Structure 1
Amino acid sequence: MVALQELKMYRNFDELASDVLELAKEILPDKLIYLTSFSENQQIILKMSDGNTKILLSEGQVIPIHETVCNRIDFEKRQPLVFPDISKDTCPVDLRTIMKEAKIHSYLGIPIALLNGENFGTLCVAHHEVSEFDDKSIALLQKIARMFSYYLDLERVAFKDSLTNLYNRHYLSKHFEDYSKNGGMIFFLDLDGFKKVNDVHGHDVGDRVLKEVAAKLHQFVENEKECFAVRLGGDEFIVHFSHITSEEEMKNRAEKVLGVLSEWESGFPLSTSIGIAHYSPNSTISLHDVLKRADNALYLAKAAGKNRYQVACL
């Protein structure tokens, strides 16, 4: 799932999203058209066209994923979901209730998916009255959605590590540039024993281990508030937190990361060492210096016996 914070870093995202809606309005001018994105638990309405104020949706609105109509779109087959008249039996009762509450009486949802198979969100059309959606209009909207997904893929390449699909150093730098004034904390991770895996079993096996690390970190950050994971390169990773408020909370997170990276499907005797550095709100410190402090702390954790964390001195 594409994080909203990531979208804000995309070049010209707002402008292109507006262009997408404008093109779609040329096809169905009397309808409300909007773009959404998904996370694991919610749908966000990113941008809406003007008009059709009778429908009770708003730009920036966050909806629990199980309460959305778009969640019923067949993303696997990339098929649109079409309800010209929600009062008809073709519309399930629970969806009918959801749409009635939003004053929607006709709906068209086009899936937007990325090349790696990840679901991004939807391009939707809604109206407060019964509407007909002809095949030509649907086909044109699908083409618009597909072109928008190509743009999203191009932007993601700049921010993603190609092996693990975690964020890369460029994303970390851009995030620090845009949000460092809010303060944060960096966990600098290094795998204990990874060099031996590469030397004995080869780089293909090493790559599988790195992908397993990425999967574990991805699952970890999904359950954390204001947190993301980065692969710096090799077996070095970053977990960045924007909302750790106490030493106890920091220690709990560090122990949790150590636990997550202590059990391996591959069966290799690996563990993880962590160097921790934080930066205060409105600090003038550079990302380079924060990473250097975290790296120094990581060295101390390794020297003290590995499979542990060390906090950088101020």
Structure 2
Amino acid sequence: MVTTYQELQMYKNFDELANDVLELAKEILPDQLIYLTSLSDSQQVILKLSNEDTSIAVAEGLVLNLNETLCNRVDFQNNQPLIYEDIQKESSLEKLQQKLDEVNIRSYLGLPISLVNGEKFGTLCAINDEVTHFDAKSIQLLQKIVRMFSYYLDLERFAYRDALTDLYNRRYLSNFFDNHSSKGGVIFFLDLDGFKKVNDLHGHEAGDGVLKEVASRLQKLAAEQPDAFAVRLGGDEFVMHFPSIGSKEDISQQAQHVLDRLSKWDAQYQLSTSIGVVTYPASGTEELAALLKHADQALYEAKTSGKNTYKFF
């Protein structure tokens, strides 16, 4: 599960530590423009710059198509830096040459930043508008800085993730609601039908496998909607949060889509899902606890009406 920019904003002291990382890197390579990025499957976000007073056209908050960046070529699998001391001499960069010329990048050093579990986070990069020699000692020192930064990311990430499924947890949902509820949205409260029998008949290891599979499917569902995310509250209870989807009919279609994706299981598992749906308006005054209570009431109605369905509060 990709660490989002929205999640990073919740991390304690992220800005302070990111600035420290850039300051240390700047001590090692004082003539370079240093920056931190985060990566998704398709995009790169420039999180922090060492300085913006430069001839290179890069800015904090810039979102780039990953396929059009040098960072897309960094070797995360083998945790190796990517080094171009003179980009104009690199025939492999022919397709990117025009874009690099436009932003005035002549040399590049990119170091991969990964979490302990191997998940790709982003890069620490050094660029210049002139040809640059990157010596081995400098690169080794930067790799140590990256390693320490990745340990910090893991500690912060752990606070907002469910240990079993790697979905967001209740703390993340609460913090998100505190900061973004003014935009309005839709909450699906999900509960698995028949999950207790899986544990009773097949054991808790099988039950954990089911929960992980549910999480995987919810992650894929969330990826289909901009700014949607999934949460495990505990046990077999999950939440999906969507920004304002539209009409009640649109929400119903989305709820049915979720049910369909969670209804196909091996014959040995007699599983389905029930959903309670609650909406809240932009600039509303509803508290998360009240909304979850309402969604739980709607979930109860879905359960008592035959399960494998959804009900609105």
- TM-score > 0.5 by shorter chain: yes
Contact 1:68 1:98 in 2 (8 A): no
- The answer for the alignment partner of 2:285 in structure 1 is 284
Query: In the TM superposition, what is the alpha-carbon distance from 1:265 to its structure 2 partner?
Result: 5.6
> What is the alpha-carbon distance in structure 1 between the residues aligned to residue 158 and residue 254 of structure 2?
29
1:17 aligns with 18
1:182 Cα deviation (Å)?
Answer: 1.8
Counterpart CA distance in 1 for 2:62 and 2:270 is: 46
The one-letter code sitting in structure 1 at the alignment partner of 2:201 is V
2:244 maps to 1:243: yes
Aligned in 2, Cα 1:267/1:110: closer, same or farther, shift over 3 Å?
A: farther
Equivalent residue of 1:226, what SS? coil
- Please report how far the alpha carbon of residue 178 of structure 1 lies from its aligned counterpart in structure 2 after TM superposition: 1.3
Secondary structure of the residue that 1:94 maps to in structure 2? coil
Verify the 8 A CA contact 2:84 2:90 in the aligned structure 1. Answer: no
TM-score (norm 2): 0.96
In 2, the alpha carbon distance for the partners of 1:271 and 1:227 equals 22
- Between 1:198-207 and 1:272-281, the stretch displaced more is 272-281
8 Å Cα contact 1:226/1:243 also seen in 2: no
For each residue in 1:121-166, what CA deviation from the matched residue of structure 2 results, as whole angstroms up to 9, or x when unmatched? 0000000010000001111111111111111100011000000000
Partner of 2:37: 36
Query: 2:247 & 2:18 partners in 1: Cα distance?
Result: 39
- 2:154 aligned counterpart, secondary structure: helix
Matched-pair contact (CA < 8 Å) for 2:187–2:277? yes
Q: How far apart are 1:89 and its partner, in Å?
A: 3.8
Match of 1:268 in 2: 269
How big is the shift at 1:268?
Answer: 1.8
- In the TM superposition, structure 1's runs of 4+ consecutive aligned residues that sit over 3 Å from their partners are 89-92, 95-98
Q: Distance in 1 between matches of 2:272 and 2:101?
A: 53
Q: Which residue of 2 aligns with 1:110?
A: 111
The structure-2 alpha-carbon separation of the partners of 1:40 and 1:266, relative to structure 1 and needing over 3 Å to count, comes to farther
- Aligned CA distance change for structure 1 residues 52 and 134 (closer, same or farther; 3 Å): farther
- 1:57-136 alignment, distance < 5 Å: 57-89=58-90, 91-136=92-137
Match of residue 137 from structure 1: 138
Measured on the aligned residues, the alpha-carbon RMSD in Å equals 1.4
Query: Contact between 1:186 and 1:241, CA under 8 Å: does it hold in 2?
Result: yes
Q: CA deviation at 1:282?
A: 2.4
- Structure 1 contact 83–90 (Cα < 8 Å) conserved: no
Quick one: which amino acid aligns to residue 181 of structure 1? Answer: S
Q: Secondary structure in 1 aligned to 2:89?
A: coil
Tell me if the contact between 1:301 and 1:309 (Cα under 8 Å) persists in the aligned partners. yes
Question: Could you tell me how far apart the structure 1 residues matched to 2:80 and 2:110 are?
Answer: 9
Q: Over residues 42-79 of structure 1, what are the superposed CA-to-partner deviations in whole Å (9 max), with x where a residue is unaligned?
A: 10001111156211111111001111110111100000
Q: Which residue of 2 aligns with 1:307?
A: 308
Alignment partner of 1:177 is 2:174: no
What is the DSSP-based 3-state SS (H/G/I as helix, E as strand, rest coil) of the residue aligned with 1:196?
A: helix
Three-state SS of the structure 2 residue aligned to 1:82 is: strand
Matched, 1:8 2:9: yes
Unaligned 5+ segments in structure 2 are: none
CA 1:96/1:267 → structure 2, altered by over 3 Å: closer, same or farther? farther
Q: Does 1:211 align with 2:224?
A: no
Counterpart residue type for residue 242 of structure 2? F
Report the Cα distance in structure 2 between the residues aligned to 1:147 and 1:157, rounded to whole angstroms: 16
Q: CA deviation at 1:243?
A: 2.8
Name whichever of 49-58 and 4-13 sits farther off.
49-58
Aligned to 2:259: 258
Secondary structure of 1:116's partner? coil
What whole-Å deviation, never above 9, does each CA across 1:197-229 have from its counterpart, x for those lacking one? 000000000000000000001111112112110
Give % identity: 57
Residue type at the aligned position of 2:231: V
SS in 2 for 1:9: coil
Retained in 2: the 8 A contact 1:44–1:60? yes
- 1:2 counterpart SS class: coil
1: CA distance between counterparts of 2:82 and 2:138?
13
- 2:165: which partner in 1? 164
Q: Is the 8 A contact 1:34 1:46 kept in 2?
A: yes
